[in-house]
């Protein structure tokens, strides 16, 4: 299959390009498109055969459910039972990077929800995504448009690197804005608690401000779990570059930030020295925004995603950085931990998953 790449203006997408992509979706095909989070791989969410195509193209395990994308919150009843408790959240954050898990309707096939009786839904905040869903006339199931396990794509070039020849087309609307996926939540039956299933573009703080009367329970994998749960390579990793990535963090809560960073850098420098002697291709991922104390870090590829107090910038650049390590043939990568404030929580969640259990406390 030849994959057609079509450039569109991200603000005012060309109607013909959208109509052609929508025709592919209506016929059960696959089209990748930009959203405000990352690029998605879309198919008609109500067509089981089309949805199976997503799993095939990505090599995604069939027990991992998809997020259903709508163009209009008013269409929610087509795919989900709109509990009154979640309506204020939908009103506040849609269109935007918040995914709600709700009881599904009979219209949604098992393929989309991986057999669950709930469905994950959101309204993306991107003119191209919204135009495509509208023109298709159906809800669009869209996971990130990468091969399963790889870093999510934030540009059309990333999509092609993973999926060229496996999907019908890609709408290229330039780089995705936020850079990490949506926040996934479930509101419990009492209406008093929000379960945070995956941190993402909407921060815990924003949720708290929107629903001050509700408790927010972080049910996503904690840093501590990530450190102990999985031995590398055993269970499947996510968002992972090809090189072995280790998160290096300072576990001492008493250390001040500057001292903590020095300890982390010292540990990384020591590791790099040993690897250099063996001729290993090394990479380092930093959140510093300037030259670290003690001079430049000596690795084959050092990428700095900006200062630790600007997590939005780190989020925007994270996945492209992981792919750059691959392009450079990096075999071993050390990533400095950043504070988990704001969207930094999502950045660290992805890094821990990319590390697949490799975490070093210093
Ligand atoms: P992706 O499409 O790759 O960004 O991943 C979708 C995310 O939404 C995964 O973390 C899924 O586990 C989660 N998800 C999708 N549907 C459900 C559901 N019905 N219940 C809980 N989580 C879900
Ligand atoms: Mg994904």
Q: Output the residue whose Cα is nearest ligand 1's atom 2.
A: 143
Range of the domain at 291: 244-361
Per residue in 173-183, pLDDT (tens digit) is 999 999 999 99
| Ligand 1 mean position, distance from CA 184 (Å) | 7
**Residue 222 pLDDT greater than 90, yes or no:** no
pLDDT at 172: 98
Whether residues 218 and 255 fall in one domain: no
Residue to substitute in 36, 61, 101, 202 for testing ligand 1 pocket (most ligand atoms within 8 angstroms of CB)? 101
Residue 239 lies in a domain: no
Residue 105 lies in a domain: yes
Number of separate domains in the chain: 2
Q: pLDDT grade, residue 189 (50/70/90)?
A: confident
Backbone phi, psi, residue 133, to 5°: -65, -45
Whole-number Å distance, alpha carbon 65 to ligand 2 midpoint, is: 10
Interior CA angle at 330 toward 325 and 336, to 5°? Answer: 65
Same domain, 320 and 354: yes
Q: Give the pLDDT score at 234.
A: 41
Higher pLDDT, 3 or 233: 3
Residue with tokens 């815990």: 204
Residue 206 has pLDDT above 80, yes or no: yes
Which of these ranges, 228-242, 303-317, 340-354, has the smallest mean pLDDT? 228-242
At a CB cut-off of 8 Å and minimum separation 6, what does 296 contact? 302
Per-residue pLDDT, 221:
66
Are residues 208 and 111 part of one domain? yes
* Residue that has been written with the tokens 């404030």 in this structure: 341
Residues 222 and 284 in one domain: no
Could you identify the residue written with the tokens 């396990």? 149
Q: Is residue 236 part of a domain?
A: no
277 with 213, same domain: the answer is no
Is the CA virtual torsion 199, 201, 202, 205 positive or negative? positive
The Cα–Cα gap between 187 and 42 comes to 26
Residue at 238 is within a domain: no
State in Å: Cα 342 to ligand 1 middle. 21
CATH number of 29's domain: 3.90.870.10
Is cis: bond before 225, omega within 30 of 0?
no
Instruction: Tell me whether residue 235 is in a domain.
Output: no
pLDDT at 287 over 80: yes
- How many angstroms separate the CA atoms of 75 and 42, rounded? 18
């Amino acid at each position: 299959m030849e994959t057609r790449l079509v450039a569109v203006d991200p603000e005012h997408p060309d109607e013909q390009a959208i109509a052609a992509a929508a025709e592919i979706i209506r016929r059960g095909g696959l089209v990748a498109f930009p959203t405000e989070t990352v690029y998605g791989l879309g198919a008609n969410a109500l067509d089981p055969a089309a949805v199976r195509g997503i799993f095939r193209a990505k090599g995604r395990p069939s027990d991992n459910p998809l997020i259903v994308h709508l163009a209009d919150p008013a269409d929610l009843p087509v795919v989900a039972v709109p509990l009154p408790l979640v309506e204020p959240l939908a009103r506040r954050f849609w269109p935007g990077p918040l995914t709600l898990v709700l009881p599904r309707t009979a219209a949604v096939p098992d393929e989309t929800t991986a057999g669950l009786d709930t469905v994950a839904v959101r309204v993306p905040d991107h003119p191209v995504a919204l135009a495509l869903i509208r023109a298709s006339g159906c809800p669009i199931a869209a996971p990130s448009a990468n091969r399963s396990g790889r870093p999510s794509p934030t540009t059309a070039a990333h999509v092609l690197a993973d999926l060229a020849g496996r999907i019908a087309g890609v709408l290229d609307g330039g780089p995705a804005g936020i850079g990490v996926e949506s926040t996934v939540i479930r509101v419990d039956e009492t209406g008093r608690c929000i379960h945070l299933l995956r941190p993402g573009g909407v921060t815990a703080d924003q949720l708290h401000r929107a629903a001050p009367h509700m408790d927010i329970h972080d049910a996503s994998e904690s840093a501590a779990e990530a450190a102990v749960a999985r031995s590398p390579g055993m269970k499947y990793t996510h968002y992972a570059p090809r090189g072995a990535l280790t998160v290096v963090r300072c576990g001492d809560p008493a250390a001040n930030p500057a001292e903590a960073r020095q300890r982390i850098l010292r540990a990384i420098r020591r590791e790099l020295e040993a690897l250099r002697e063996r001729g290993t291709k090394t990479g380092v991922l930093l959140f510093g925004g300037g030259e670290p104390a003690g001079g430049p870090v000596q690795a084959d590829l050092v990428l700095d995603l900006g200062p630790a107090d600007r997590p939005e910038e780190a989020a925007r650049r994270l996945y492209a950085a992981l792919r750059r390590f691959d392009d450079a043939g990096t075999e071993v990568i050390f990533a400095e931990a950043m504070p988990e404030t704001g969207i930094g929580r999502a950045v660290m969640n992805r890094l821990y998953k990319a590390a697949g259990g490799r975490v070093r406390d210093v």
